[in-house]
């Protein structure tokens, strides 16, 4: 009995392990977890263990029943093993269990098994990344999904929604929420002007048992109706257009002046034709015609049977006894008006 105890004590001193009845004690509190679709086994050292123990881990999936456990991290001193780092073909829909044991040169503890997890159901979804842009009395919320270690959020889950919570800075107890949002860009409207609002976003999936972690609050202030950046943008666009027009004018100055004032001489026969006096009959008639003469006649009528017609026609006055008067008023070249007056 004494020599055996001796051996055990010597061994214990050599390896720094705690030995109870010749068996290494196993790690405690072994748990398998997943964050953003990684797969991590972690544990605590055995009770009263010396530092610098080595551990060996393994994992199994419900698929590989014939070879229940595959090697994970081997002979490591860390208290965790990230299976995602090991180039193992993991599935976002897989069910996994891990195990770990204390490893020494000549001995090892029993395996200690972890809980089982189903990746898409149990992975903890990290917070989305949220950015805000204010535009007058509105704030646009842009949501970026967390990056998964294997697969991607929208591959792992067929349906995801965002729950957006927003409040006036300092009044979180009066926060409002918009849930079941499916777009990753949302405009918060009808906000107060010149007010700072804070936003937090959470992701809900159709399959994970818990919503994602909340994004850290991000805040942004609304401004006036006409935001400075809109004015700046308009100014910029106008300036850009002016610069482009000026640049085009400079570059194409020669071509433009050529188009506006061509320095090509006309063919001689065309020039001659253009210089010749016009022979068109109408044109000549227009040139030679005198402006039409306007003739005015003063006509007065008296109804007592003695009409007096002045100037023209002078003879008309002599026939006045006929009580019927024909007056022809010549009004220029083209018009004649006949007035017949019957008493």
Ligand X SMILES: *[C@@H]1O[C@H](CO)[C@@H](O)[C@H](O)[C@H]1NC(C)=O
Contact residues: ligand X, CB under 6 A: 74-75, 103, 105, 163, 165, 177, 179, 202, 204
Q: How far is the CB of 74 from ligand X (least distance, A)?
A: 4
List own/partner pairs for 239-247 with CB under 8 A and 24 or more apart: none
For ligand X, the closer CB: 163 or 184: 163
Asked if 178 contacts 139 with a C-beta cutoff of 8 angstroms, the reply is no
Q: In whole angstroms, how close is the CB of 180 to ligand X at the nearest point?
A: 7
Q: How many Cβ atoms from other residues are within 10 Å of residue 81's Cβ?
A: 25
Closer Cβ to ligand X, 151 or 213, answer by number: 213
The first and second tokens of residue 166, run together, are: 């927003």
* Distance between CA atoms of residues 146 and 127, nearest Å: 6
Q: How far is the CB of 198 from ligand X (least distance, A)?
A: 12
d(C-alpha 6, C-alpha 8), whole Å: 5
Closer to ligand X by CB, 78 or 240: give it.
78
Report residue 340 as tokens: 């017949």
Q: Which two tokens stand for residue 256?
A: 């433009």
Least gap, CB of 148 to ligand X (angstroms)? 21
DSSP 7-22: HHHHHHHHHT--EETT
Q: Which of 198, 223, 219 is nearest to 136 (CA)?
A: 223
How far apart are CB 243 and ligand X at their closest, in Å?
A: 49
Rounded Cα–Cα distance for residues 289 and 294 (Å) = 14
Q: How far is the CB of 231 from ligand X (least distance, A)?
A: 36
Peptide bond into 342 cis (omega under 30): no
How far apart, in Å, do the first and last CA atoms of the chain sit? Answer: 171
In 16-131, alpha helices (H): 119-122
Contacts for 8 with CB less than 8 Å, ≥ 6 apart: 19, 22
- Whole-number minimum distance, CB 190 to ligand X, in Å? 19
Question: Is 149 or 197 the residue whose CB approaches ligand X more closely?
Answer: 197
C-beta of 163 vs 221, nearer to ligand X: 163
CB nearer ligand X, residue 181 or residue 309:
181
With respect to ligand X, which residue has the nearer C-beta, 127 or 136?
Answer: 127
**Which residues make beta-bridge pairs with 6?**
none
**Judged by CB, which is closer to ligand X: 75, or 226?**
75
Tell me how far, at minimum, the Cβ of 175 lies from ligand X, in Å. 7
Q: Which residue has the tokens 């006096």?
A: 277
């Amino acid at each position: 009995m004494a020599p055996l105890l001796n051996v055990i004590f010597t061994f214990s001193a050599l390896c720094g392990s705690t030995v109870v009845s010749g068996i290494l004690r196993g790690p405690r509190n072994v748990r398998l977890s997943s964050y953003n679709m990684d797969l991590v086994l972690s544990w605590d050292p055995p009770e009263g263990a010396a530092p610098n123990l080595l551990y060996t881990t393994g994992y199994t999936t419900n698929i590989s029943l014939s070879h229940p456990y595959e090697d994970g991290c081997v002979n490591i001193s860390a208290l965790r093993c990230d299976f995602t780092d090991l180039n193992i073909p993991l599935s976002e829909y897989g069910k996994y269990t891990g195990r770990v044991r204390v490893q020494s040169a000549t001995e090892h503890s029993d395996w200690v098994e972890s809980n089982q997890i189903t990746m898409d159901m149990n992975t903890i979804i990290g917070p989305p990344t949220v950015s805000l842009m204010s535009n007058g009395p509105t704030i646009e919320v842009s949501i970026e999904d967390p990056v998964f270690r294997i697969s991607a959020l929208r591959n792992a889950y067929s349906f995801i929604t965002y729950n957006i919570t927003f409040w006036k800075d300092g009044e979180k107890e009066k926060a409002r929420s918009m849930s079941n949002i499916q777009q990753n860009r949302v405009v918060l409207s009808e906000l107060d002007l010149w007010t700072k609002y804070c936003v937090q976003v959470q992701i809900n999936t159709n399959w994970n048992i818990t919503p994602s972690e909340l994004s850290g609050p991000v805040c942004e202030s609304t401004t006036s109706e006409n935001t400075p950046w809109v004015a700046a943008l308009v100014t910029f666009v106008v300036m850009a257009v002016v610069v482009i027009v000026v640049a085009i004018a400079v570059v194409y100055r020669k071509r433009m002046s050529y188009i506006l004032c061509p320095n090509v001489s006309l063919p001689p026969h065309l020039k001659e034709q253009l210089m010749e006096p016009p022979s068109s009959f109408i044109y000549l008639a227009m040139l030679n015609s005198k402006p039409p003469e306007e003739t005015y006649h003063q006509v007065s009528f008296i109804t007592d049977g003695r009409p007096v017609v002045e100037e023209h026609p002078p003879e008309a006055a002599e026939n006045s006894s006929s009580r019927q008067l024909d007056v022809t008023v010549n009004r220029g070249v083209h018009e004649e008006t006949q007035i017949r007056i019957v008493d």
